[in-house]
Amino acid sequence: MRIESTDGGDVVVKISNASEPEGVVDMQVKALQHIFERDPALPVPRVVPSLAGAPYEWIEDERGSRHMVRVLTFLSGEVMERVEKAFSARTRFNIGATVGRLAYALRDFFHPYAGSNAHLWDISRALTLRPQIAEISEARLRQLCAEIFERAERFTLPRLLKTRRQVVHQDSHGGNILVDPNDSTSPVGIIDFGDMGYNSIVADIVAASETFSKFDDDPIAYLCDVTSGFDSTYPLEENEIDLIFDAMLLRLAMATVIVEAREATGESRIPHIEDASHYPRMMELLSRQGRAQAVRRLRQACRFPAYGAARDDGDQLAHDYDALRHGREAHLGPIWHFYEKPLHITRARGAWMYAADGTAYLDVYNNVPQIGHCHPHVAKAIYRQASALNTNTRYMCDVAVEYAARLTADLPDHLDTCIFVNSGSEANDLAMQIAMSLSKHDGGLIVDQAYHGCTDLTTALSNESWRHLPPDAHPRRIETLMAPDMYRGPFANDPEAAANYAADADRGIATLRERGHRPAAFMVDTALCSSGVLRAPENYFNLVAEKVRSVGGFVIADEVQAGCGRIGTFWGFRANGLKDDNVDFITMGKPVGNGHPLGVVILSSALLKRFLDGTYPLFFSTFGGNTVACAAGMAVLDVIEREDLVSRSADIGDYLRQELRRLAERHAIIGDVRGLGMMTGVELVSDRLTKEPAAAQTERLVQDMLARNILTGRATPNTLKLRPPLIWSREEVDIFVGAFDDCLERQRQTLPGTHLE
C-alpha cells in the first residue's frame, strides 16, 4: 500500500503473507541497508525503521496469523514495460548500467538465507521445471524447450557455477524497473527484491534483458545493450560474457514453460505474466540467430576480442576466413605476412597461439612476447595504469622515472639516460639522428643482411631491404660490412678470424670517405639475427667498435632482438663480448613491452644534453614514454626477475641446441646449429662438404612445421631462426624437436641423396 504524505515523502507499506519465511524479509531489508552504505545514490527503496528502530515488525490478523510488516520509501517513476518510448537501445544500456551498479554494491553482501530463497524463476534451479515441458501444447515450442533444458544440464548450468556468484536481485525485468516520465531512457528505480538470492551475476543480466517489445525482432541487440551497460559499471569476465546467450535462452525457456504450464507450476494468477507471448517469440528468434553470432556480437559490444576459436563445448564461433582476408587486403593493402596462406590468429597465451578454428600453434618464431604471450602480470599492469593515467613525458609521472632508473641500473655510468619512443625502428632512427648530429658525420656502417627498422633512415641502415637492388640503387652513405660468419665465411676456420673480419671495417670507412661520407655510427644487432643468427668470433665487435670510434663515430648496440634476456644475459652486447666502454647507445623495442608499443634509446646524459642544446632543442615524442607503455615495461622486468627467466632461458636454450645437434647426427641437411640463450640458428645445407644452401628444402620445412602446428621462420633463405619466449620448458623443446625430426625424416624420404659426412 502506498501512503501519501503532504510533504512528498510517500512510503510503501508491505505486509507479508503469513507463509513468508522471516529470512526472506530479513535478507531484503539488510540488503537494502547494505546497498545504501555502498552506493547511496542507487535508486532503490530505503528501509524506514519502526518507532522501536526495527526494520520490520510483526502483526496479527483477525484469525491470529502473524505477518511481517515493513515500510519502504516510495520511488516515483513509470514502470518501464508500460512506456513505449523506453524500448530503446539507450534505455537498455542505462538499465544494464544501473543493474550492474546494484550487483556491484551487493558483491560483498551475504545473508544466511541467500541460498534458501527458492522460487521458480531462479535460473540455477531451472531443471525443476523440466517435467512441465510436457504441458506445452505446441510441439515446436515443446521441442525447443526440451533442447534448451538438455543443454542447460550438460553445459549452461555447470559453467554458470564457474562464474562469479553472489547475492543478486535476479528479477530486474521491465516490470520492476522504473523510468523517468520526462526521460524514458533514465532508470529511476529498481523495486521488488523478493526474488533476490545467491546466484551467478549473469542471472541479473538476463533478467534485465527479457523485456522484449512485440515490434522488435533482434533479441541479440537487447542482450548487447544491457550487457554493455552492465559491463560499464561491473566489468565482466570472459567466461561470463560467453555464457550470457545460453543463460538468456534458458531464462526464456523457463518463462515459456511457466507461461504455457501455469496451472502445473502454480503461477496461473500472477498478473505480470498474463500477457507473456514475447517469451516464446524471443526464445525462437534468439535460437534461430544462433550462439556463434550472439557471442561474437556480445564480445564486440563489451570490447572483448571477438575471436572465432572453438569453445570448450565444441561450438565454434562465427568466422569467415575468405571474407576476413578480402577485408584485410581491401583495408590494409597487400601487407606482407609470415605464411603463404595467412594465419587467422585470434588469441595467445604463454608459448602458444590459437587460430580462429581453435588450432593451437607452438610459437618458435615471434620474438615480441619475450615473456610469453599475454602474460597476466603485464596485462594487469597495462589495465591498471590505463585506468589511472595515460599521458606523455611532458608531465612528471612516477612510472616513467622509475622505469628508466630500473632499466639502466646495471649499466655503466655513461649509459644513464633513457629516451622513450614507440618502437625499435624509432629508437634506432633517433639514435642514428643523435649520432649524426653530434659527430657531424652523415654515414653509417652495418653488417650484411642487417635489419634495423622501417623508417626512411633505418631502412637505409637495413640492407636486408635493399641488398637485392642494383648497386647504384644502394644508399651511398651506408656501407655494409662482411658478416662474421664462422660457418661458411672466408675466415670461418682462421684463428685470426676476428681481426680479419674486423679489417673489413677499415675498407668500409675508406669506401665511405671516397664517396664523401664519414661514419656517424656502427649500428649492430649483436645477435646477428637477420644475418643468420651468427656467432661472431671473440672480440670481433670490439675491434670494429674501436675502428669506428677512432674516426669520430659512435657505436649503437641494437638490442631490439638481442636484449631483455634473449641471449643468455640481460644485455645482448655483453653476451657477445662487446665491452661496456665501447657502447655509446643502446636501443630497445619489440620485447621490451612484451608486445605493447615501446622503444628505448639509452645514452649518456652528456650526449643527450649536447643533442638538445644543438640541433633538436624541442625534441618530443607524443606517445614515447607514455605511462601505460612504461607500466608494461616495468611489468616485463618484474616477470624476468621473479621467474628468473634469463638463467632459465640460457639453460633451456642450451638444451634446445643440444637436441638439435643430436638430430644433426641423423639428418645431413642440418649443417650448423648455433646461438645463445633463446635465440638459435639452424643452417640447412644440401651437401655438408660444399655447404650448398638448402633454400628450397628450408622453405618446405617451414611449411611442413606449420602443418604440424609449429611456427618457425627464416633468417636467411637456408637458415631457420628460432626465437621462442623465455618461458619455454623442456616440454616445449621436446614438442618442437619431435616435430622437426618428423619433418626432416619425411623430407629425407622424399628427397633422397643427402649424405652424412
Q: Indicate which CATH number applies to the domain containing 205.
A: 3.90.1200.10
Question: Are 113 and 9 members of one domain?
Answer: no
On whether residue 388 sits in a domain, the answer given is yes
Per-residue confidence (pLDDT) for residue 547, from 0 to 100: 98
Q: Which three cell numbers stand for residue 97?
A: 548500467
Task: Name the band, by pLDDT with cuts 50, 70 and 90, for residue 171.
Answer: very high
Q: How far apart are CA 78 and CA 588, in angstroms?
A: 60
Question: Are 5 and 92 members of one domain?
Answer: no
Non-local CB neighbours of 26 within 8 Å, separated by 6+ positions:
55, 56, 111, 113
On whether residue 500 sits in a domain, the answer given is no
Residue 319 scores a pLDDT above 70: no
Non-local CB neighbours of 423 within 8 Å, separated by 6+ positions:
453, 589, 597, 598, 599
Per-residue confidence (pLDDT) for residue 650, from 0 to 100: 95
End residue of a domain, out of 251, 270, 301: 301
Q: What's the mean pLDDT in 669-675?
A: 97
Query: Average model confidence (pLDDT) for the chain?
Result: 92
Helix (H) or strand (E) run with residue 524 in it: strand 519-524
Q: What's the mean pLDDT in 171-194?
A: 94
Residue 414 scores a pLDDT above 50: yes
Q: What's the mean pLDDT in 695-710?
A: 95
Task: Name the band, by pLDDT with cuts 50, 70 and 90, for residue 309.
Answer: very low
Residue 247 scores a pLDDT above 50: yes
From the number of C-beta atoms within 10 Å of its C-beta (0-12, 13-18, 19+), residue 474 rates as: middle
- By C-alpha distance, which of 143, 205, 193 is closest to 169? 193
Residue 308 scores a pLDDT above 70: no
Residue located via cell numbers 524471443: 282
Q: What's the mean pLDDT in 38-46?
A: 96
On whether residue 175 sits in a domain, the answer given is yes
Number of folded domains that form the chain: 3
Question: Are 214 and 266 members of one domain?
Answer: yes
Do residues 348 and 374 make contact, with C-beta atoms less than 8 angstroms apart?
A: yes
Task: Name the band, by pLDDT with cuts 50, 70 and 90, for residue 707.
Answer: very high
Task: Name the band, by pLDDT with cuts 50, 70 and 90, for residue 259.
Answer: confident
Q: Which three cell numbers stand for residue 16?
A: 507479508
Greatest mean pLDDT range, 58-62, 145-149, 338-342: 145-149
End residue of a domain, out of 301, 327, 346: 301
Task: Name the band, by pLDDT with cuts 50, 70 and 90, for residue 384.
Answer: very high
Task: Name the band, by pLDDT with cuts 50, 70 and 90, for residue 757.
Answer: very low
End residue of a domain, out of 301, 320, 350: 301
Residue located via cell numbers 614507440: 422
Residue 57 scores a pLDDT above 50: yes
Question: Are 99 and 192 members of one domain?
Answer: yes
Residue 275 scores a pLDDT above 80: no
Residue 597 scores a pLDDT above 80: yes
On whether residue 562 sits in a domain, the answer given is no
On whether residue 209 sits in a domain, the answer given is yes
On whether residue 549 sits in a domain, the answer given is no
Question: Are 82 and 69 members of one domain?
Answer: no
Do residues 568 and 676 make contact, with C-beta atoms less than 8 angstroms apart?
A: yes
List Cα–Cα distances, 95 to 40, 102, 197, 318, 331, in angstroms.
Answer: 17, 11, 20, 28, 36
**Tell me, what CATH number does 618's domain have?**
3.40.640.10
Q: How many helices (H) and strands (E) does the chain have?
A: 24, 26
Which residue range is the domain that position 120 belongs to? 76-301
Question: Are 132 and 56 members of one domain?
Answer: no
Angle at 149 between CA 145 and CA 152, to 5 degrees: 140
Q: How far apart are CA 451 and CA 449, in angstroms?
A: 7
Question: Are 91 and 57 members of one domain?
Answer: no
By mean pLDDT, which of 565-569, 600-604, 734-738 is the weakest? Answer: 565-569
Per-residue model confidence as pLDDT tens digits over 386-411? 999 998 877 888 999 999 999 999 99
Question: Are 47 and 99 members of one domain?
Answer: no
**Helix axis angle, 219-233 relative to 244-260, nearest 10°?**
120
Residue 756 scores a pLDDT above 80: no
Question: Are 96 and 48 members of one domain?
Answer: no
On whether residue 541 sits in a domain, the answer given is no
Question: Are 80 and 57 members of one domain?
Answer: no
Helix (H) or strand (E) run with residue 37 in it: helix 22-38
Do residues 676 and 647 make contact, with C-beta atoms less than 8 angstroms apart?
A: no
Q: Which three cell numbers stand for residue 548?
A: 669506428
Helix (H) or strand (E) run with residue 471 in it: none
Per-residue model confidence as pLDDT tens digits over 222-233? 999 999 999 999
- How would you write 150-202 as a 3-class SS string? HHHHHHHHHHHCCCCEEEECCCCCCCCEEEECCEEEEEEEECCCCCCEEEECH
Question: Are 51 and 81 members of one domain?
Answer: no
Task: Name the band, by pLDDT with cuts 50, 70 and 90, for residue 215.
Answer: confident
Per-residue model confidence as pLDDT tens digits over 280-303? 999 999 999 999 889 989 999 999
Task: Name the band, by pLDDT with cuts 50, 70 and 90, for residue 310.
Answer: very low
Non-local CB neighbours of 406 within 8 Å, separated by 6+ positions:
634, 637
Per-residue confidence (pLDDT) for residue 614, from 0 to 100: 74
Q: What's the mean pLDDT in 232-253?
A: 96
On whether residue 416 sits in a domain, the answer given is yes
Question: Are 238 and 119 members of one domain?
Answer: yes
Measured from the Cβ of residue 399, the count of other Cβ atoms closer than 10 Å reads 21
Task: Name the band, by pLDDT with cuts 50, 70 and 90, for residue 440.
Answer: very high
